[in-house]
Amino acid sequence: MFTRRTGAELLYVLAGLPLCLVGLVVMLVPLVVGMGLSITFIGLPIAALGVLIARGLGNTYRRMAGSLLGLRVSKPEPPAPTSGIIPAVLRDPASWRAVLYVVLKAPLGLATFVMSALFWVYGLFMLTHIVYWSLLTEQLGLPFTDFKIDTWPKAILLSLVGLGLLYAASRVTHVLLLLDRLLIQGLLGRTTMAQRVRDLEETRAHAVDDAAARLRQIERDLHDGTQARMVALAMHLGMIKEELDGDPDLEMTRKLVDLAHTNTKEALVEVRDLARGIHPAALDKGLDAALATLASRSPIPVSLDVSLESRPPQAIEMIAYFCTAELLTNIAKHSQATKASVTITGPGPRIEVTDDGIGGASVKPGAGLAGLRERVATVDGTLSLDSPPGGPTRVVISFPA
């Protein structure tokens, strides 16, 4: 009947009533006065003050909804003062949406308070009415009705009705707050376009960082591996040339040729591995063939099920391959799993990787899974993780169709 959610919603209604009524007056006074004086030089600054008050009230309502109702709404972008703060505030759509919310919140908050109070007060009154009647031993009636309590059956019936009202009161309050939730989401948060722009800015930044990190890794691999091999090869070839120019020692020359040959092969392997890291050759035959090769190389058994309606774009195909490769590597290193499975369906594609390991994985900033989520987000994909302690672990990566 009375849960933690019910208490939080009642607190939201009670705290919101004085705020919405006082806030409406505090906002409207400078807004109306400023509009009335808009033909003078002081009118617009006063009107802008009213709009800023509405925006501040909107921030307060949004925080209240987040802490008491569990409603998370992204904060809208602040006005961009390209031509001055006052014109920016008066032209800002988010600020005027806050004004509209403050105007609508006053009657909505009052109606929600009255309806909730009727159910809670009447429910408590009816439930406890039997106590008053038994102590006073005289007829008592319900306020605003002709119903009289003069017998025990009536008193018990009234208590049962009160119990039912209390049971319904929490649900009534929750339903009444649904409209408020919708208004907060629609008027106090970012618009779909603004959120889309913000997401694109973040994913672009992640893509730039990922590309820079990849280039640094390639540079290190070339410097520490392939370049060292080529230097050694050049030295050995120089030594062979010196041997041949002088009195040739065939045994020494043969050893130098063997060393040069070995360094050449190792350099080719490193270059091949480096190229595979940029674009795996296995992907030339499609994602299913590349993942089959990947699964066959895994140190633990991996079952693979690929059902794609069509071949994904190259960028998505590469990200899907590298993400699956890293997930299988993580499973082999950390999960203590005995088996894993990879299921890919179209047309997205949608990748589901599961294992029977110890679980407890999480997406921590700067860690491997966070990097995968950022890489997937560069193409508007999503990554979700379900890894309770004790397992199993399930990772789902979805790409846009």
Distance CA(24)–CA(285), nearest Å, equals 65
Contact 25, 9 (CB under 8 A): no
Of 50-59, 152-161, 216-225, 307-316, which range is least confident?
A: 216-225
Query: Given pLDDT bands bounded at 50, 70 and 90, which one contains residue 147?
Result: low
195 pLDDT more than 70: no
The 10s digit of each residue's pLDDT in 333-369 is 888 888 889 988 877 788 899 988 888 888 777 667 8
Classified by CATH at the fold level, domain 285-398 comes out as Heat Shock Protein 90 (3.30.565)
pLDDT at 110: 92
Of 56-65, 243-252, 366-375, which range is least confident?
A: 243-252
Distance CA(107)–CA(92), nearest Å, equals 25
Dihedral pair phi/psi, residue 204, rounded to 5°: -65, -40
The 8-class DSSP code of residue 285 comes to G
pLDDT at 295: 84
Q: For residue 303, what are the contacts with CB-CB under 8 A and spacing of at least 6?
A: 295, 339, 340, 341, 342
Of 8-22, 208-222, 276-290, 354-368, which range is least confident?
A: 208-222
Distance CA(228)–CA(9), nearest Å, equals 68
Could you tell me which residues are beta bridge partners of residue 317? none
Contact 188, 158 (CB under 8 A): no
The 10s digit of each residue's pLDDT in 221-273 is 555 555 555 666 666 666 666 666 665 666 666 666 667 667 666 666 656 65
Torsion sign over Cα 211, 217, 222, 226: negative
Contact 276, 251 (CB under 8 A): no
Q: For residue 319, what are the contacts with CB-CB under 8 A and spacing of at least 6?
A: 375, 376, 378, 379, 381, 399
Identify which has the larger pLDDT, 199 or 367: 367
Of 166-180, 184-198, 210-224, 237-251, which range is least confident?
A: 210-224
The domain spans of the chain are 4-120+169-188, 195-278, 285-398
Instruction: Find, among 258, 251, 266, the residue nearest to 237 by Cα.
Output: 258
Distance CA(105)–CA(99), nearest Å, equals 10
The 8-class DSSP code of residue 352 comes to E
pLDDT at 107: 92
